[in-house]
Amino acid sequence: MRISVIGCGYLGAVHAASMAKLGHEVVALDVDPDKIGRLAAGDAPFFEPGLPETLAEALASGRIEFTTDPSRVAGARVHFLAVGTPQGPSGAADLTYVDAAVTGLLPHLAPGDLVVGKSTVPVGTAARLAERVRAVQPEATLVWNPEFLREGFAVQDTITPDRFVYGVPAGEAGQRAVAVLDEVYARALAAGIPRLVVDLPTSELVKISANAFLATKISFINAMAEIAEVAGADVTALADAIGHDDRIGRKFLNAGLGFGGGCLPKDIRAFQARADELGVGQSLAFLGEVDAINLRRRAHVVTLAEELLGGSVAGRRIAVLGLAFKPNSDDVRDSPALDIAARLVELGATVAAHDPAAIGTARRLRPELEYADRAEDALAGADAVLVLTEWAAYRSLDPQAVAGLAAGRIVLDGRNCLDRDAWTAAGFTYRGMGR
């Protein structure tokens, strides 16, 4: 099928390459010529395992074209909207890019075309955009098909997601849209991946409520970490024990620095802002608490570092291992790790930071930090070691070897990912989160 993908950021670039891999003819459009140039040359503009290979395969097949020319989308039967919805100044989602994508698409829509929204939008947006489409091309249909991809697993989550959700209008147009989307995703559907057909507002809410739930789960366990710390309990053991109840489940119960990234923080704020607009702000008031618990984690790590270093970090040398908001990513958007590193510098510490993938992205945002290309260089002479992103390379660090490099014997495990006994045996004062 001939498909267009509008927006080549995280979501769009992965979606476009994955659709070509599935055998579709793809035109991928973005306003940024640099991004398009890199993608056309097979150079993934961000770190994402599996994307370089998928992109290379798509380009070699001749089934993908990257362009900045909006008219190239004409002739595609399905147009995916995959632009960003960043946080606006009030906390609400900024829909500028979504509206601009639709404005650019409208002149090229033909009867029978399907416009498929994938971006995370405030509930009600799809109905409004459907109206805009109908006004210009009454025989085209707009549907919503939210994306649930996780960074680090984006290709896999696009090709074989947990589920497909189609938000479609009632009646014949909706049924036709379901048939077309079934054709797009035929291979995954044949493999038995569930597909749910719902109305437009439900599809918008599915996405944002899934992220709100995940954020709530993380803040729940971080609240338990706060209690465990003063009660002398261990939140990791607690999570293991409650996680055995399969109504609760162990996943997303890792206490630590809390959540960051390009989705969860902005999505809970946008959801609250939308609920306020709809006059049901009270229903999501708890998300304000989820946000507050999450942000407290960062301040707490800084306080712990001060305590461990005898009351102040000023003039001390601190090795920060991990800058990305999670492992297997170079993304530092709203990253707790980068935030903490910057706060320590503000308090007068010398921070030597390392990350296996995110030094480049971190340097752009925080040029004031000292970056080390090798973990060993960050560790050399450090008074304290802070592990802030749970990369496999840090989990498997040999504490004896670290002891040979660092000046001090203090380790702060911000993600509860180290072997406490091994570090203690190597002479370190170990502090975890909520243990």
Q: By the criterion CB under 6 A, which residues form the site for ligand UDX?
A: 148-151, 211, 214, 218, 252-254, 256, 258-261, 263-264, 325-326
52 touches 15 (CB < 8 A):
no
Select from 151, 143, 156, 260 the least CA-distant residue to 204: 143
Query: With respect to ligand UDX, which residue has the nearer C-beta, 19 or 214?
Result: 214
Catalytically annotated residue among 197, 212, 263, 382:
263
Query: With respect to ligand UDX, which residue has the nearer C-beta, 70 or 258?
Result: 258
**Tokens at residue 148, please?**
């649930």
When computed from its CA atoms, the radius of gyration of the chain, rounded to whole angstroms, is 23
Closest separation in Å from C-beta 137 to ligand UDX:
30
User: Residue 130: enclosing H or E segment and its boundaries?
Assistant: helix 125-136
Query: With respect to ligand UDX, which residue has the nearer C-beta, 83 or 149?
Result: 149
Query: With respect to ligand UDX, which residue has the nearer C-beta, 1 or 198?
Result: 198
CA distances from 21 to 35, 216, 249, 361 (A): 20, 35, 34, 28
Burial 310-349 (b: 16+ CB within 10 A, else e): eeebeebbbbbbbbbbbbbbbbbbbbbbbbbbbbbbebeb
Closest separation in Å from C-beta 16 to ligand UDX:
17
Closest separation in Å from C-beta 202 to ligand UDX:
17
Told to judge if 8 belongs to the known catalytic residues of this protein, a careful annotator would answer no
The amino acid at residue 262 is G
Query: With respect to ligand UDX, which residue has the nearer C-beta, 36 or 338?
Result: 338
Closest separation in Å from C-beta 198 to ligand UDX:
17
Alpha-carbon span 335 to 176, nearest angstrom: 42
Query: With respect to ligand UDX, which residue has the nearer C-beta, 137 or 389?
Result: 389
Closest separation in Å from C-beta 417 to ligand UDX:
10
Sign of CA dihedral 299, 301, 306, 310: positive
The amino acid at residue 100 is A
Alpha-carbon span 13 to 368, nearest angstrom: 31
| Residues 6+ away with beta carbon under 8 Å from 106 | 132, 133, 136, 137
Closest separation in Å from C-beta 222 to ligand UDX:
7
Task: Report the catalytic residues.
Answer: 263
